[in-house]
Amino acid sequence: MTLDLLREHGTPLARQVFTWKDLVREPISKLDDEAFTRVRLIVGHAVEQAAVRFQHAAVRFGAEHRLLLADIRRVEHHQATLLRWLQPADQSPLESSIAVAQAAVEVGAQMARCEPDPYVAQALRLGLLEDFDHLYRLAALMDRLEGRDANAMLQSYTDIRPGRPTSAQHRAPEDDLRRWYDRYATAPATKLHARIACAIAYHARDHYLDVGPTFADPVARQLYAELASVKEQHVTQCESLLDPAETWLERWLLQEAAEVYLYWGCLSSETNPRVLAVWDRFLAYELEHLRIVRELYEKTEMRDASEVVPLSFTEPLEFAGERAFIREVLAAEVELGAAGTEFVPRDAESRATQSYRAQLERDGSPSETVAAGYRWSPGTELADPRIRDASVLPPLKATGS
């Protein structure tokens, strides 16, 4: 399967328009639709939000292109809106958090498995095992607050079990910085993976910050604050992988290529016909954005854009369960941490990280508290015979008239 980025025709920018009814469509079902339909929507929204943030910042460096940036940015914003509004209307904040964590785990796992650069792959695996544990802590919170099984949302695609403990994920800022890739020597896939991973991390960070204060339970509020802090670390890690020598136009070109790559994967794997039509439409939009920025890049920087982005994509993101790979990474790397730009055993972490972690956890760890005594089993409390049997009322005795 190949996507030729030069021969494929996109939708002209002037025809990339929406109506309010078009933007706000019937949402998917949180139970009837496949979990990966929701995963694709979450990641697509995250990447569109990243595009909007980048294009706002780019105005400071390319003021002469501010009209073009504004035109494309408005379309990107409306794409993000449409994808966000397709999320299930009856999905609770906690269910949304579990869905966000599943998206980070599953898409992060596939990118880590396919990543050609060993160092970047290791960074992605570090984030993967930490997101995996976040999912476990959120499942424990659902059991604690609502007595419900998070697997109803996950649909058995993703395991519910501890990863690298969240309480052990807090690192000093200097230990979240990574060596950046070489813009000239690095494979295009690495550049795209880093951007998609950064978009997912940023989205999860914002989600936890927005949702956390809505809970009344004090442990839930603290847990969300803790998860948001770790996701800030993940944003720092992913951003630091990007070569700082990349020009802003080069980064814009790569951002648009990342969106094309993502939507191609969504289109190739979607099972919901209504959402499939959205991916087809948005892929055509992004192919045109990529063409416009490619021409601008070549005209402005006098370089061949194929030195930055490939002429074609050969393998799309699969959006399939990565249980076997995650279990393999979990068994081999759960005890890894980081010191400076290197990945090290946890007992070799820096004094700065140890001090930072001790300060944060001086009054206790919410991620440990929420999961104390929790171990996932199918059906959670409904499978416990003590609770199940106690819920059955004895038969009524016949009474005389």
User: Would you state the structure tokens that stand for residue 194, as one six-digit string?
Assistant: 């880093």
Instruction: Report the alpha-carbon distance of residue 240 to residue 198 in Å, rounded.
Output: 10
Of 19-28, 128-137, 198-207, 386-395, the poorest mean pLDDT is in: 386-395
- What's the pLDDT score for residue 401? 41
User: Crossing angle of helices 248-269/273-301, nearest 10°?
Assistant: 160
CB count in 10 Å sphere of residue 210: 13
What are residue 342's DSSP bridge partners?
A: 339
Task: Give the burial class of 225: count Cβ atoms within 10 A of its Cβ; 0-12 exposed, 13-18 middle, 19 or more buried.
Answer: middle
How many Cα atoms sit within 13 Å of 341 on the Cβ side? 9
Q: Is the pLDDT of residue 381 over 70?
A: no
- What's the pLDDT score for residue 61? 80
What are residue 312's DSSP bridge partners?
A: 4
Q: Is the pLDDT of residue 154 over 60?
A: yes
* pLDDT tens sequence across 106-124: 999 999 999 999 999 999 9
Q: Is the pLDDT of residue 242 over 70?
A: yes
Residues 6 or more apart whose Cβ sits within 8 Å of residue 64 = none
Task: Give the burial class of 401: count Cβ atoms within 10 A of its Cβ; 0-12 exposed, 13-18 middle, 19 or more buried.
Answer: exposed
Q: To which residue do tokens 């956390």 refer?
A: 212
Query: Are 235 and 205 within 8 A, CB to CB?
Result: yes
Q: What is the mean pLDDT of the chain?
A: 93
Q: Is the pTM of this model over 0.75?
A: yes
Q: Is the pLDDT of residue 395 over 80?
A: no
3-class DSSP string for the chain: CCEECCCCCCCCHHHCCCCHHHHCCCCCCCCCCCHHHHHHHHHHHHHHHHHHHHHHHHCCCCHHHHHHHHHHHHHHHHHHHHHHHCCCCCCCHHHHHHHHHHHHHHHHHHHHHHCCCHHHHHHHHHHHHHHHHHHHHHHHHHHHHHCCCCHHHHCCCCCCCCCCCHHHCCCCHHHCCCCCCCCCCCCHHHHHHHHHHHHHHHHHHHHHHHHHHHCCCHHHHHHHHHHHHHHHHHHHHHHHCCCCCCCHHHHHHHHHHHHHHHHHHHHHHCCCHHHHHHHHHHHHHHHHHHHHHHHHHHHHHCCCHHHCCCCEECCCCCCCCCHHHHHHHHHHHCCEEEECCEEEEHHHCCHHHHHHHHHHCCCCCHHHHHCCCCCCCCCHHHHCHHHHHHCCCCCCCCCCC
Query: What is the percent of the chain with per-residue pLDDT over 90, rounded to a whole number?
Result: 87
Instruction: Report the alpha-carbon distance of residue 260 to residue 306 in Å, rounded.
Output: 15
SS3 at position 134? helix
- What's the pLDDT score for residue 62? 74
Instruction: Report the alpha-carbon distance of residue 284 to residue 221 in Å, rounded.
Output: 41
Q: Is the pLDDT of residue 343 over 70?
A: yes
**Banded model confidence at residue 44, pLDDT cuts 50, 70, 90:** very high
Instruction: Report the alpha-carbon distance of residue 174 to residue 178 in Å, rounded.
Output: 9
In 253-341, beta strands by DSSP E: 312-313, 336-339
DSSP-assigned letter for residue 381: G
